[in-house]
Amino acid sequence: MFNSTIRVWGVCLVLLLAGQACTDLDEKTYDVIPTDQFGQTAAQQAALIGPLYSGLADYYGNSAGLNAVTDEQIVPTRGGDWKDGDNWKRLYQHTWDPTTDNGQFNGPWTWCYNNITSINQQLGSITDENVKAELRALRAFFHYKAMDMFGNVIIADQVGTSTPAQKTRTEVFNWIEKELLEVYPKLSSTVGGAYYGRFNKPVVNMILAKMYLNAQVYTGTARWADAVTRCDSIIMSGKFSLTADLLDNFKVQNQNSPEIILATPFDNSKRGGFNVHMATLHYKHQLTYNLPASPWNGYATVVEFYNSFTAQDLRKKMWIVGQQYDATGAPMDDDGIPMVITPEIPAFEMPAGPAGRLAGARSQKYEIQRNNTTNDMSNDFVIFRLGDVYLMRGEANFRLGRTANALADFNVIRKRAGVPDYTAAQLTLDEILAERGRELAWEYHRRQDLIRFGQFTKAWRFKPASEKYRELFPIPRDQISLNPNLKQNPGYN
């Protein structure tokens, strides 16, 4: 398409230059379609919906930083690096301020509602009922993310005014559920191929399963059986299967993984923005992977989280620790000190020097693209996958008292990880949360999980116990200024 565009512009330029000698300046238009008529054909509708999916790529960018509010990710200060006005410290310790940190939360809010607005603007041009159903499902997903982060938010189901009404979290939950159930029959059951990265029945089942799993948090009413039903639909469809190795889901070319239910595609040259390796790797890892620039030495995991993986757990390979080597296999050093990444982080704020720079296990869950020419990688970001479905169904069954069913699901995941099966006596809510952490680390489900298990506000390393109202992020001040109907979440006034 790009080359065709160049050729078209080249022809136009030739005609323009040739036409300079003419005196007839009347414009003749041959290929303009009025806006209200565009979208009548399948090709035109595809052209309309393609850009609407591009906003999904920002799922990673709007989740990675906020994962620092959990016990699985820490962004310590190393000398002056990552000080950033103590932004990362406030996130980690749950002391964020609605004014000082307004931008931190305004970004995710505008990500949700800018995408919702774009969808609403195009829905009127779509005539195909199946395509319309797909876009309504995508719109419901962005509402789901807003509801999860901010609680009482806006239902934007049409192009409307600049001051829409704020709805309760329960009202938004009910609207999202109604939307998804209404469009479900018109969605495709096809997975992969043309439907890779698009909303189909399995994706909607996954959103509903997530909502039902967290329904007690969102609405005060548990929906465990409904969560099981939606998980059953995904597992029993036979359209997905677990990969032999968990990390196969996160390879540089992971688009053919049979486990992925929804991913958003990235490419280091055509669709950039996925750079988690730059945020987590040590500066000198540039020499390990032949990267075009030095990484930023920021994101790490907390030592207790790292230690929750036993030595035999194959998933522990997702972390980088120990002596580091360059691309030739030669051991590296940091200012003359052997470059040994240690899981222990001695303090949230560390002085400049090798000890601080080397502290904290780094993530390589997403395969790091070697000999890359840019700071962006070509791994597609995984939003939903089958491994999570087994864990969700197992948890919901456990909460319903169906321990045998729960054990079967958890042990499917345990077998792949190379660790012993659970026994009935070993399966507790605390252990279920820990197992979800090991399986889903840095996939950005942890905040939701900690809240559901009542663990989000507890104390952990470098973080005292926090107030319950921190389970919701503040409504961004920018949005309250624009819309007087928005009221701030309790605790932030």
pLDDT at site 493: 82
Residues 329-338 pLDDT 10s: 999 999 999 9
Query: Do 370 and 437 fall within a single domain?
Result: no
Q: What is the pLDDT of residue 41?
A: 63
- Is residue 261 domain-shared with residue 384, that is, in the same domain? yes
311 with 369, same domain: the answer is yes
In a domain, 150, yes or no: no
- Token code pair at residue 287: 């020499």
* Dist CA 19 CA 22 (whole Å): 5
Q: Are residues 321 and 363 in the same domain?
A: yes
Give the total number of structural domains in the chain: 2
The pLDDT assigned to 50 comes to 82
Beta bridge partners of 349: 77
Q: Which residues are registered as beta bridge partners of 319?
A: 363
Q: Is residue 303 part of a domain?
A: yes
Q: Would residue 145 count as lying in a domain?
A: no
Local confidence band at 19 (pLDDT 50, 70, 90 cut-offs): very low
Q: Binning pLDDT at 50, 70 and 90, where does residue 5 land?
A: very low
Q: Is residue 240 part of a domain?
A: yes
What's the mean pLDDT in 471-491? Answer: 97
Tens-digit pLDDT profile for residues 97-145: 999 999 999 999 999 999 999 999 999 888 899 999 999 999 999 999 9
Same domain, yes or no, for 196 and 207?
A: yes
Please indicate whether residue 463 or residue 15 has the higher confidence score (pLDDT): 463
CA distances from 400 to 224, 225, 296, 393, 404 (A): 7, 8, 45, 10, 11
pLDDT band at 16 (very low <50, low <70, confident <90, very high): very low
The mean predicted confidence, pLDDT, of the chain is 92
pLDDT reading at 208 higher than 50: yes
> What pLDDT score was predicted for residue 17?
29
Residues 261 and 390 in one domain: yes
pLDDT score of 42 more than 80: no
Q: pLDDT (tens digit, 9 = 90+) per residue, 384-439?
A: 999 999 999 999 999 999 999 999 999 999 999 999 999 999 999 999 999 999 99
pLDDT at 38: 53
Q: Average pLDDT for residues 249-269, to the nearest whole number?
A: 97
CA distances from residue 365 to 39, 73, 252, 264, 441 in whole angstroms, order as listed: 41, 13, 11, 17, 8
Return d(Cα 415, Cα 80) in angstroms, integer: 43
Q: Whole-model pTM above 0.85? A: yes
Residue 215 maps to which CATH number?
1.25.40.10
Write down which residue in 334, 351, 379 finishes a domain.
379
Distance CA 428, CA 451 (A): 17
Task: State the pLDDT at residue 49.
Answer: 83
Does 251 fall in a domain?
yes
Q: Is residue 292 part of a domain?
A: yes
8 Å CB contact between 221 and 339: no
Q: Are residues 244 and 282 in the same domain?
A: no
pLDDT in tens, 282-303: 999 999 999 999 999 999 999 9
pLDDT at 1: 36
What pLDDT score does 312 carry? 98
- 305, part of any domain: yes
Mean pLDDT of 262-286: 97
Instruction: Please report the pLDDT score of residue 398 as a whole number.
Output: 98
Same domain for 283 and 359? yes
- pLDDT of 15 strictly over 60: no
Would residue 58 count as lying in a domain? Answer: no
Same domain (yes/no): 374, 386: no
336 and 384, same domain (yes or no): no
**3-state SS of the chain: helix, strand, coil percent to 5?**
50, 10, 45
Q: What percent of the chain has pLDDT over 70?
A: 91
Q: What confidence score (pLDDT) does residue 163 get?
A: 86
- pLDDT tens column, 79-90: 999 999 999 999
- Amino acid residing at 339: M
Domain that includes residue 206, residue range: 189-265+380-453
Question: Do 449 and 304 reside in the same domain of the chain?
Answer: no
> Are 391 and 254 in a shared domain?
yes
